[in-house]
Amino acid sequence: MMMRRLRTKTVYFLWLLIVVFVAFIFLDWGSQSTAIKKVGKREQGVVAEVNKEQITFKAYDDLTNYYVKDGLSRNEAEKAAFNKLVEDLLINKAIQQKKINITDENIVEFIKTNPPPQLYGDTSLQTQGQFDYNKYLSVISNPSNIEWLKSYEEVLRTQLPRQVLYQMIVGTIRPTTIDFMEEFLQRRTKLKVEYVKAEPEVSPLEIQNYYDKNKDNFTKESKPIVKYVIFPIKTTIEDEMDSKAEAEEILNLALQGGISLDTIAETHNCVLLPEKPENSGIVKKDDGWHISVKKDSIVGILLLPMHPSTETIGKVEESAESFIEEAKSDFDGTAKAYKMEVKTSRIDEAPVNEIDLSYLDFKKKNTVIGPVEGKNAFYVFQTAGTSEKYTPKFNEIADKVKYKYLSDNSPILFKQGFKEFVKSKGLTVISPETFDFYGSPEGPDFFMQAVNIPKDTTMYVVVNGSSYIVHSLDRIQPEADSIKKEMPQFYSIWSEEEGKKIFTEWVNGQKESAKIQDYRYKTY
């Protein structure tokens, strides 16, 4: 009887242990799942979500590195890579929604009738200097080329749906014949001008009065505002010594001979300068180490820029991260303790506009963002609400007001005549040969402004920050025979340009309406 009771109690005890154990397991799993949920998207390898579809950090990092190798700065590369991946995702989604399907038969037919562009220059596929389709067909029919065909097929499976989508989007908006004729006549018009690189002297009071009367023209729309501190990235003595050692190695390599300076510049991230040295050696200058090489036929100067090392950059980033830990609770107080200046800016103003913050959520105030790597610095931001629609003060946009004033008042400023104005100022006149849009001496933007200047009139124009005073001598319209001959080819080029504009506007519209969550930067 006693044994039975003991066994019964033992059974109850065992069941109790089992229940407790199972409960513990569920609690443990629950705590683990909660912990997993708390892991941020960045830690999960996700850099962004576009309408809840993910972009991986690996894809972002790979594309960024590709752009860096292609010559972009790290900051520019990250911005370009992020936008490209967002656009690709939106384009692919549109392809799915529009049910654009490319069949195997479509691929085969396209391969037969559309050789890759790089093959047109292959002399083995030419007959009497012309591309021979029969030779191309024999190449794609050869089983030994199957791997090449597979790679071409993979490219087409990505490109063809996009081409179909492109045609669908562009086909919905047709530029008018009037648009085309205006563009044709404008670009085929030839100009005869004379100009000087200068701007007229005007009193600050004149410009101030212009601003006061036209304030509404300078009003800015509302934008998010951020506070921020800057952690500069500067080269250290150690970085300088490492760079000097590398410069000495490059000099020794060049003096050994057998390798051109062009090749050395390419393989060692140098710039071959146009100057010629008097002798060999290295000299430190503001832009880096100048490596002078003069031995036999090898003569030139290589510039090796000095950059902060990875270790130096890492230390600056660590300082920014330490700042953030304290700034989560008191941004301004932490900045004061670190003896750092807190600046405030709209996100569309320099230097903040160099960093791509456009996809972040600025609705929640006092969110700390960072550290964000910018140009030669790490930034730590704190959201500070949204600015009202406002007009900047005159001293904030004085140069912009001045350019606008000079453009609007050119007829009055130059009423004395171009020659008299130039003579009174002692300026050098530039008198190029007659030119069109494609041969403009100061670029196409210069032409597009100059072509609107009436004959025998002098106007002030600004192109990429450079100031010109332009006197129009003649505008020569294309003749009827020329129009008839050139119009078909021009229409092909122009319609392609317009198509790209339309598609770009469509993509931008997709981005504006999409829900894009950006996890590139840590937020607290």
Check residue 2 and give its pLDDT: 33
Q: How far is Cα 476 from Cα 205, in angstroms, rounded to an integer? A: 40
AA identity, residue 10: T
Q: How far is Cα 288 from Cα 299, in angstroms, rounded to an integer? A: 19
Check residue 242 and give its pLDDT: 92
- As a three-state string, the secondary structure of 62-100 is HHHHHHHHCCCCHHHHHHHHHHHHHHHHHHHHHHHHCCC
Is the omega angle on the peptide bond into residue 308 within 30 degrees of 0, that is, cis?
no
pLDDT higher at 20 or 325: 325
pTM greater than the 0.75 cutoff: no
Give kind and range of the element (H or E) at residue 222: none
User: What's the mean pLDDT when you consider all of the chain?
Assistant: 85
**Residue 515: pLDDT band with limits 50, 70, 90:** very high
- Quick: pLDDT tens for 73-102: 888 889 899 999 999 999 999 999 999 988
Collapsing DSSP to helix, strand or coil, 429 comes out as coil
Residues with Cβ within 8 Å of residue 466, at least 6 apart in sequence: 197, 442
Q: What DSSP assignment string belongs to 231-242?
A: EE----HHHHHH
> Where are the extended beta strands (E) located within 19-159?
46-50, 53-56, 126-127, 130-131
Which of 457, 459, 429, 427 lies closest to 446 in space, CA to CA?
Answer: 459
Residue position matching structure tokens 């001293």: 395
- Quick: pLDDT tens for 106-117: 888 888 888 887
- How is residue 132 written in tokens? 């021979």
> Where are the extended beta strands (E) located within 165-280?
190-196, 224-232, 271-273
Check residue 281 and give its pLDDT: 93
Most confident of 143-152, 180-189, 294-303, 313-322: 313-322
Check residue 38 and give its pLDDT: 58
Is the omega angle on the peptide bond into residue 143 within 30 degrees of 0, that is, cis?
no
**460 beta partners:** 469
Check residue 24 and give its pLDDT: 42
Residues 382-396, mean pLDDT to the nearest whole number:
88
Q: How far is Cα 355 from Cα 308, in angstroms, rounded to an integer? A: 20
Given a cut of 60, is residue 27 above it in pLDDT? no
Residues with Cβ within 8 Å of residue 432, at least 6 apart in sequence: 193, 441
Residues with Cβ within 8 Å of residue 343, at least 6 apart in sequence: 227, 228, 229, 230
Given a cut of 50, is residue 40 above it in pLDDT? yes
Q: How far is Cα 6 from Cα 356, in angstroms, rounded to an integer? A: 73
Check residue 383 and give its pLDDT: 94
Check residue 1 and give its pLDDT: 37
Given a cut of 80, is residue 186 above it in pLDDT? no
Residues with Cβ within 8 Å of residue 175, at least 6 apart in sequence: 495, 498
Given a cut of 70, is residue 175 above it in pLDDT? no
**Range with the poorest average pLDDT among 29-33, 176-180, 346-350, 382-386:** 29-33
Cα 298–Cα 301–Cα 304 angle in degrees, nearest 5: 125
- Quick: pLDDT tens for 443-497: 999 999 998 898 988 888 888 878 899 999 998 888 777 777 777 877 778 888 8
Centre a 10 Å sphere on the Cβ of residue 308 and count the other Cβ atoms it contains: 18
Check residue 3 and give its pLDDT: 33
Centre a 10 Å sphere on the Cβ of residue 70 and count the other Cβ atoms it contains: 9
pLDDT higher at 164 or 35: 164
146-171 and 104-113 are packed helices; what angle lies between their axes, rounded to 10 degrees? 100
Cα 184–Cα 497–Cα 151 angle in degrees, nearest 5: 145
How far from the centroid of its chain's Cα atoms is residue 65's Cα?
14
Check residue 258 and give its pLDDT: 81
- Quick: pLDDT tens for 398-457: 888 888 888 888 877 787 788 888 888 888 899 999 999 889 999 999 999 998 898 988
- As a three-state string, the secondary structure of 472-507 is EEEEECCCHHHHHHHHHHHHHHHHHHHHHHHHHHHH
Q: Which residues of 385-408 are buried (b: 16+ CB within 10 A; e: fewer)?
A: eebeeeebebeebeeebbbbbbee
- Quick: pLDDT tens for 50-60: 999 999 999 99
